[in-house]
Structure 1
Amino acid sequence: MDGKQVFDALAREEQPPTAVDVNHAIAAGRAMRRRHRAAVAGITAAGTVAAVVAAWTVGPWPGQRDAVAVAVPAAPSATATPRPTYKGFAELKKKYPPKGKIASVPPLVMWLSDGPRKNGLFLCESGPNGSSCSAFPPLAANEFARRQGRLHGKGVWFGISKDVVHGMTAVTKDGKKFPGNLARSVGAGLGVWAVEYPSGADVRKLVFIGAKGEVLQRIPL
């Protein structure tokens, strides 16, 4: 085969086919268009879902203004200052304003107020028997706590303590114990305490303990 024959053979192989199946081409075109439309529909649907999700995510909801997130105030937590309703509380608080905070020490509400003498204080208590205040001198160096009063007709003792006192207990003659309630740092470097026990209990002493459970003071009754 000479060069011309080789060239003619290669040229014929590179030429596009002269016979075309028209029906096959139309069918193939329709299939391609269907696939294109399905792809476009899928992209559109996905875009719509994304838009809805985005709108829900950044759109206004309760607590927002103009689609800008703002903090929704949480429910107010319990405050350290109670709101007692005992008889005479409001009048006593006005006459003897708290020197520090008002403490809830069940079954009483108690606070400290400035007394008429230098460095003197009042211990004010309000409870089921009414409200009253009584003056007391500063605690001595070797004193950690002091009993200030007792509710008549009830098994309740109450008083003051230094802030190093972390707990107190009433102890009966036979050794039974009744834990009391204590509030530290009420005012003037002092705390207040109250202990309630059954009226028939033979309570003989009050025991005050420190941060590590050590006994700081025993007050006989």
Structure 2
Amino acid sequence: MDVKQVFDSLATHEQPPTAVDVHQAMAAGRAMRRRHRAAVAGTMAAVAVAAVLVAGTVHPWARQQDGVAGVVPATPSVTATPRPTYKGFAELRKKYPPKGKVASVPPLLMWVSDAPRKNQLLLCESGPDGGSCGSFPPLTAKEFARRQGELRGVGVWFGVARDDVHGVTAVTKDGRKFPGNLARGVGPGLGLWVVEYPHGADVRSLVFTGAKGGTLQRIAL
């Protein structure tokens, strides 16, 4: 017996003598089943969204950044290494104020200052073993760099260079190379450089290179 026959039977034997639209009743039943399925699907979707939110919220607290609240990440952010402060640095900087900026050129802090003599500058350096300042005349037309001093106890050469210089390397007698550190634009058209070398290394020259890696100058030691 199909559904239509069931409704006909009910209408004849159990219902009061009123008109029953079988097709309308069937449509109503289908609509009710669709609403039920939609409600179940909506509930499951809400549960899935809640699970994603719970999984993404690693920490129960939020932070405010640039006016927008966000979840604190599980992985800690990488922070920049703070610039070291050596003993006597503040006094040396106060006595010889930087003519430009103080550059961190590991393992030294370095800057350029005005010298008592006309047309000369001071190169000041502060490191683990103290600090000092030494005067130097301007670089000549043929010079791209100049060696200003050496810290023998820690194996360090340091000096000045034009801003055309983009790299400095110490080269030993047997061809080993030790790349140095360079800070450009520290003073008026000047950069400052530092090269560290291991104890006992037979360093014979310092090679200064340009933006494309070509050799600009070689200083024999």
Given the two structures, how large is their TM-score scaled by the length of structure 2?
0.69
Structure 1 segments unaligned to the other structure (5+ residues)? 1-19
Cross-structure match for 1:94:
94
Cross-structure match for 2:58:
none
Q: Percent identity?
A: 64
Which one has the largest radius of gyration? 1
Cross-structure match for 1:201:
201
Aligned length: 191
How do 1:1-221 and structure 2 match up within 5 A? 21-23=8-10, 32-44=27-39, 62=62, 70=68, 78=80, 83-221=83-221
**Secondary structure at the residue paired with 2:99?**
coil
Q: Counterparts of 1:185 and 1:78 in 2: how far apart (Å)?
A: 21
Q: Counterparts of 2:64 and 2:211 in 1: how far apart (Å)?
A: 48
Q: Counterparts of 1:71 and 1:137 in 2: how far apart (Å)?
A: 55
**Secondary structure at the residue paired with 1:35?**
helix
Quote how far apart the aligned CAs of 1:164 are.
0.8
Q: CA separation of 1:129/1:30 partners in 2, compared to 1, >3 Å: closer, same or farther?
A: same
Q: Counterparts of 1:32 and 1:175 in 2: how far apart (Å)?
A: 92
**Secondary structure at the residue paired with 1:165?**
coil
Quote how far apart the aligned CAs of 1:198 are.
1.9
Structure 2 segments unaligned to the other structure (5+ residues)? 1-6, 54-60
Given the two structures, how large is their TM-score scaled by the length of structure 1?
0.69
Is the CA contact (8 Å cut-off) linking 2:62 and 2:69 kept in structure 1? no
Give, as a single letter, the amino acid of the residue that structure 1 aligns with 2:34: A
Q: Counterparts of 2:133 and 2:64 in 1: how far apart (Å)?
A: 50
Q: CA separation of 1:154/1:43 partners in 2, compared to 1, >3 Å: closer, same or farther?
A: closer
Deviations 1:28-65 (A, max 9, x none): 57765443333334445566778896xx8xxxx94579
Give, as a single letter, the amino acid of the residue that structure 2 aligns with 1:37: M
Q: Counterparts of 2:9 and 2:34 in 1: how far apart (Å)?
A: 26
Q: Counterparts of 1:76 and 1:100 in 2: how far apart (Å)?
A: 29
**Secondary structure at the residue paired with 2:92?**
helix
